[in-house]
RNA sequence: GUGAGUGUAGUUCAAUUGGUUAGAGCUCUGGAUUGUGGUUCCAGCCGUUGGGGGUUCGAGUCCCCUCACUCACCCCA
């Protein structure tokens, strides 16, 4: 092979593409049913959007951005969907709309990380954003949607929730935590020594036993929430309980990006299909402060899920069932000449009536063509030969039962036969 | 970015301590069957052994470089 694929990328080809296509349509449908509207930001973005929102100290901004060579501006491939969307949505007119407050997307995202199971450099995220200040119904609806998608594809999972406070209580807590961790620095692993300054909450996520000991003895964010945040968190838990959604309060859920506040949550895969990248969906509540990029302050709640991770988590038999939907209703077999003309006429009629149908591109060798119809999973085959044509009829073969009958060339008769067969 | 492992037909895997012409199942193509698919039987196609360099009389096998994949760290979806 002259050219190797670019690392961390892949092409969507049959049969993977068939399932992907179906999955995308199903996810979109689920969002639509809850009143969410489709949106998608540009792939090319100014780097500032990500620096301002997810933090210039985050790994994503520091080392995972794909830069585009361009003569003037600093352009990157989007590393995330929420920030670019918020930049656009922060326009006053859209914000003031009482109709357009809930959005969903299904889009490509780029991050220059070392690929591994469930992690790519060019990949898809699906997700949603619900704009507005904290409201347990809003946060609950978003969480419920995440769960609905996972349930739709029969993915085994658990929901972890936490609150990381707001701009009132978060800052004092973080300062407090930093002070504590600095004192305990000698008892932390090398990674965590670094994290104390860059992202102290992340220390809670460390797998190292020594670090766990330090965090378990240190200040907890849930004990340091302001009254507002405390009430909001309790409200959300009530809502989830009332709706029968199981959850685990997990102080280790901290989210990596700067813009999060209050409710944060993760859906984690529990079937052992994902390896170490087991987060299926990550999300929470966020606040974008007004500046040159975000035209007005904007708050909301949303989540993002990795499509490739979702696909990896879906049981094989479930995948198979979804792809079978792409079978063919009718395959038309002809023998050239007049029989072909009649076939084309029929084909047009069938398609205009919403029946998924194809005609053979070659003629004769009926055993080959039936074999092809079989592989295409055609439910019926219409055979148009000289015999049939001379009688003004066609043969309709039911591929499941092998039964075949001659019927007149007439759309209504044909539709009736197909209906009976179902 | 760091570490470890892997790379052989379309695919799943073979190939003795380095030894002749790199094999097999499935898939695919053709035939048995030129108007009847799935089953069966027969036949056939398919490889620069990821790429490049080196050691050797001889390399799929050993060494170096490179690329890709896999797993983990890190980070996150």
Peptide bond into A15 cis (omega under 30): yes
CB < 7 A to strand B: residues 271-330, chain A:
275-277, 279-282, 304-306, 308-309
Q: Which residue range forms the structural domain that includes residue A382?
A: 327-421
Same domain, A276 and A332: no
What's the Rg (C-alpha) of chain A? 28
Query: Helix, strand, or coil here: A115?
Result: coil
Q: Which residue has the tokens 């996810």?
A: A27
Positive or negative, the CA dihedral A90, A92, A98, A99 is negative
Does residue A219 lie in a domain region? no
Rounded CA-CA distance A332/A10 in Å is 35
Q: How many residues does chain A have?
A: 422
* Dihedral Cα A192, A198, A201, A207, nearest 10 deg: -30
Same domain, A309 and A374: no
* Dihedral Cα A102, A107, A112, A113, nearest 10 deg: 80
- Among residues A299, A320, A341, which one ends one of the domains? A320
* Of A306, A365, A338, A246, residue with least CA distance to A123: A306
pLDDT tens, per residue, chain A with 422 residues: 346 778 888 888 887 888 899 999 999 999 999 999 999 999 999 999 998 888 877 788 878 889 887 777 889 999 999 999 999 998 878 888 888 899 999 999 999 998 888 899 999 999 999 999 999 999 999 999 999 999 999 999 999 999 999 888 988 998 899 999 999 888 888 888 888 887 888 888 888 888 888 888 889 889 999 999 999 999 999 999 999 999 999 988 887 677 889 999 999 999 888 888 889 999 999 999 999 899 999 999 999 999 999 999 998 888 888 876 668 999 999 998 999 999 999 999 999 999 999 999 887 689 999 999 999 999 999 999 999 999 999 999 999 999 999 999 888 888 888 876 55
A14 CA, B27 C1': separation in Å?
15
Question: Strand B nucleotides below 7 A of a protein CB?
Answer: 1-3, 28, 30-31, 33-38, 50, 67-77
A114 touches strand B (CB under 7 A): yes
Same domain, A25 and A81: yes
Residues contacting residue A218 through CB under 8 Å, at least 6 positions apart: A177, A180, A181, A184
Does residue A239 lie in a domain region? no
CATH code of the domain covering residue A62:
3.30.930.10
Same domain, A287 and A404: no
A385 touches strand B (CB under 7 A): yes
Same domain, A135 and A274: yes
Same domain, A316 and A358: no
Tokens found for residue A359: 């005609």
A367 CA, B32 C1': separation in Å?
13
Count other C-beta atoms under 10 Å from residue A272's C-beta. Answer: 9
């Amino acid at each position: 092979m002259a050219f190797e694929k670019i690392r961390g990328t892949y092409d969507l080809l049959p049969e993977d593409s068939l399932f992907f296509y179906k999955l995308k349509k199903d996810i979109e449908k689920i969002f639509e049913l809850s009143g969410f509207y489709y949106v998608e930001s540009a792939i090319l973005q100014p780097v500032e959007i990500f620096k301002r929102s997810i933090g210039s100290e985050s790994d994503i901004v520091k080392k995972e951005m794909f830069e585009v060579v361009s003569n003037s501006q600093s352009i990157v491939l989007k590393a995330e969907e929420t920030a670019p969307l918020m930049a656009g949505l922060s326009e006053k007119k859209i914000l003031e709309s009482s109709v357009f407050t809930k959005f969903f997307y299904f889009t490509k995202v780029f991050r220059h990380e070392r690929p591994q199971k469930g992690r790519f450099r060019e990949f898809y995220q699906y997700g949603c954003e619900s704009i507005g200040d904290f409201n347990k119904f809003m946060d609950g609806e978003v969480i419920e949607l995440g769960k609905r998608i996972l349930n739709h594809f029969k993915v085994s999972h658990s929901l972890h929730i936490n609150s990381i406070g707001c701009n009132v209580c978060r800052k004092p807590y973080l300062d407090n935590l930093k002070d504590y961790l600095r004192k305990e620095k000698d008892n932390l692993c090398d990674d965590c020594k670094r994290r104390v300054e860059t992202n102290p909450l992340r220390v809670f996520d460390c797998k190292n036993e020594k670090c766990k000991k330090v965090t378990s003895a240190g200040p907890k964010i849930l004990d340091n929430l302001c009254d507002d945040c405390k009430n909001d968190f309790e409200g959300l838990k009530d809502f989830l309980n009332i709706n029968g959604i199981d959850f685990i309060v997990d102080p280790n859920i901290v989210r990596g990006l700067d813009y999060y506040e209050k409710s944060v949550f993760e859906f984690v895969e529990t079937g052992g299909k994902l390896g170490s990248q087991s987060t299926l969906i990550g999300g929470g509540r966020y606040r974008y402060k007004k500046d040159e990029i975000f035209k007005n302050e904007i708050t909301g709640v949303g989540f993002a899920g990795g499509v490739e991770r979702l696909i990896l988590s879906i049981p094989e038999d479930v995948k198979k069932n979804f792809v079978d939907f792409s079978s063919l209703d009718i395959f038309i077999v002809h023998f050239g000449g007049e029989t072909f003309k009649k076939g084309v006429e029929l084909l047009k009629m069938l398609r205009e009536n919403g029946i998924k149908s194809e005609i053979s591109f070659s003629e004769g060798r009926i055993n080959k063509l039936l074999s092809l119809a079989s592989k295409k999973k055609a439910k019926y085959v219409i055979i148009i030969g000289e015999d049939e044509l001379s009688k003004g009829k066609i043969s309709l073969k039911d591929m499941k039962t092998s039964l075949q009958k001659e019927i007149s060339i007439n759309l209504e008769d044909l539709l009736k036969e197909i209906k009976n067969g179902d």
